Chains A and B, each alone.
Chain A
Amino acid sequence: MKTRNAFQHEEIFVQFIREQKERFYLLAYSYTKNEQDALDVVQDSIQKAMLSLDRLENVEYMKSWFYKIVVRTSIDFLRKHKRLQVTDDDTLQYLTPAQEDVYENVDLEHALDELPLMYREVVILHYFEDLKLADVANILNIKLSTAKSRLYKALKLLKIQLQDAKGETAHG
């Protein structure tokens, strides 16, 4: 019976990957910032996932389970290539609103890229990949409260009004 499950999982997995591959690529790219490296991450993630597919108990968890693999593979990739960006205080200061600026859209173009990784990944997973905050916390291996506070901080850094996030974070 276990084997049958595994094969059913495999079919669902293959379909899921084919349908969503572009989303995985975007997520990988948000870490590696490089086309070839993002492709490598996608490939590695798929292979890793297939080898541990039997351990996935419930197909309903497949999405967050696979995102977790992609995120970990990406971070390991950055670590391995020592390109993990460490944000120093200066950058943080620069990103934090110093005073009540009135002009808006301050360089919105690079805002996401300049957001430190720990904040950026929360925003991407929660808002762009539509994952519940609890799932985001699980994927990133952090506590739910940490995920919440990072999300708040991210929105603050992006100068986004907090009420937009309230609905989600309250029950997340």
Chain B
Amino acid sequence: MDEKLKELEKQYTEVPIPKELDFVVENALKQGKKKRKNRAPQWLLGTAAAAMLFTAGLNVSPAMARTLSDIPVVGSIVKVLTWTEYKVAEDTYDADIKVPAIENLENKKLADTLNEKYRSEGKALYNDFVAEVDYVKGQGGGHVGIDSGYEIKTDNDQILSIGRYTVNTVGSSSTTMHYDTIDKQNEILITLPMLFKDDSYIKTISENIIEQMRKQAASDPDKKYWVIGGGLPDDEVIDGFTTIKADQQFYISDKGKLVISFDKYEVAQGYMGIVEFEIPTDVLKNELVSSKYIH
């Protein structure tokens, strides 16, 4: 081969291979095998698809909204219920999107803002899903899946923390988590920066998390984080974790502890999934505005 071509080939193969490749490939093979096993004959697929799409009703009108799950907690008036649910269950296409709604907040503006956010995000997820299915069908079929919903992390007299998750199995089956934490007595939305006197919390929390990562990695060989000393060889930690974002996802636990959450792939390999760290209140006490929420 020509020298120039050799040089070009060298450049072509010099592209760094990301560490996630193994995981992505194994995961795709695993999912592919599963899909193959419970696959209907080809002719059935089309019929089923046509029939099922009709049943995937898009309930946008409040009148059609189904109350699926109430969370009855004695003593708390504010409650979260499933407002709208989008469901599609076809052979290789499945969507399950539950949109939460907050009720009985006196502060109508806060409730409306949150509910509107939840609703528009839920609808956007559904629209993306439909577009993706259309596209994949045009390609001769494939697998598209989305699972979105919420969990109540904390619901006590003072705090309501809702975590909304989205598992998307189209891309690299990513999982993301978004939290909203409400002070039920004062009816305000709590943000992370609001809890602290100044920005120094970013550093304090980040350092504590790195320390926790190293400790966990040292005691459990299955735990590996993208941080030096986090269980992986140093040269594999290229773009490692250094600091949390000022508005990192968080919630406040029932016991009044601050819990910091990272999305899948954010600080560790995919198999670790969503990762959470509870920050000891002792570490934070000098920086907290008050011990009202976190104690």
Q: Which of A43, A112, A158 contacts B28 (CB 8 A)?
A: A43
B172 and A48 contact, CB distance less than 8 A: no
A contact residues around B4 at 8 Å (CB): 105, 108, 111, 158-160
A158 and B8 contact, CB distance less than 8 A: yes
A44 and B2 contact, CB distance less than 8 A: no
| Min CB gap B185→A, angstroms | 42
With A25-B21, A39-B172, A128-B13 as contacts: A47 and B31 at CB distance below 8 Å: yes
Rounded to whole angstroms, the CA-CA distance of A52 and B39 in the bound complex is 11
Interface residues of A in 133-165 (CB under 8 A from B): 158-161, 164
**Is B72 located at the chain interface by the 8 A CB criterion?**
no
With A39-B24, A39-B172 as contacts: A50 and B29 at CB distance below 8 Å: yes
B2 and A161 contact, CB distance less than 8 A: yes
Residue of A nearest to B92 (CB): A51
A51 and B39 contact, CB distance less than 8 A: yes
A42 and B13 contact, CB distance less than 8 A: no
**Is A83 located at the chain interface by the 8 A CB criterion?**
no
A123 and B8 contact, CB distance less than 8 A: yes
Rounded to whole angstroms, the CA-CA distance of A43 and B9 in the bound complex is 24
B11 and A112 contact, CB distance less than 8 A: yes
| Min CB gap B19→A, angstroms | 10
Rounded to whole angstroms, the CA-CA distance of A156 and B33 in the bound complex is 45
A124 and B2 contact, CB distance less than 8 A: no
**Is A57 located at the chain interface by the 8 A CB criterion?**
no
A51 and B36 contact, CB distance less than 8 A: yes
B contact residues around A47 at 8 Å (CB): 28, 31-32, 35, 142-143
| Min CB gap B14→A, angstroms | 9
**Which among B24, B31, B143 has the highest number of chain A CB atoms within 10 Å?**
B24
A contact residues around B141 at 8 Å (CB): 48, 51-52
Interface residues of A in 20-34 (CB under 8 A from B): 21-22, 25-26, 29-30
A127 and B142 contact, CB distance less than 8 A: no
Q: Which of B2, B24, B39 contacts A164 (CB 8 A)?
A: B2
A42 and B2 contact, CB distance less than 8 A: no
**Which among B28, B141, B170 has the highest number of chain A CB atoms within 10 Å?**
B28
With A29-B15, A80-B135, A160-B5 as contacts: A48 and B140 at CB distance below 8 Å: yes
| Min CB gap A168→B, angstroms | 10
With A51-B35, A51-B36, A53-B36 as contacts: A127 and B29 at CB distance below 8 Å: no
With A26-B13, A51-B92, A52-B140 as contacts: A39 and B21 at CB distance below 8 Å: yes
Assuming A35-B18, A42-B25, what are 7 further A-B pairs, CB within 8 angstroms?
Answer: A17-B29, A25-B21, A26-B13, A42-B21, A108-B4, A160-B5, A164-B1
17 examples of A-B residue contacts, CB within 8 angstroms: A10-B33, A25-B17, A25-B21, A35-B18, A42-B25, A42-B28, A43-B171, A44-B28, A48-B140, A48-B142, A49-B32, A51-B35, A51-B141, A111-B4, A124-B12, A127-B1, A159-B4
B contact set with A: CB distance below 8 Å: 1-2, 4-5, 7-9, 11-13, 15, 17-18, 20-22, 24-25, 27-29, 31-33, 35-36, 39, 92, 135, 139-143, 170-173
| Closest A-B pairs by Cβ, 3 of them | A50-B32, A46-B28, A164-B2
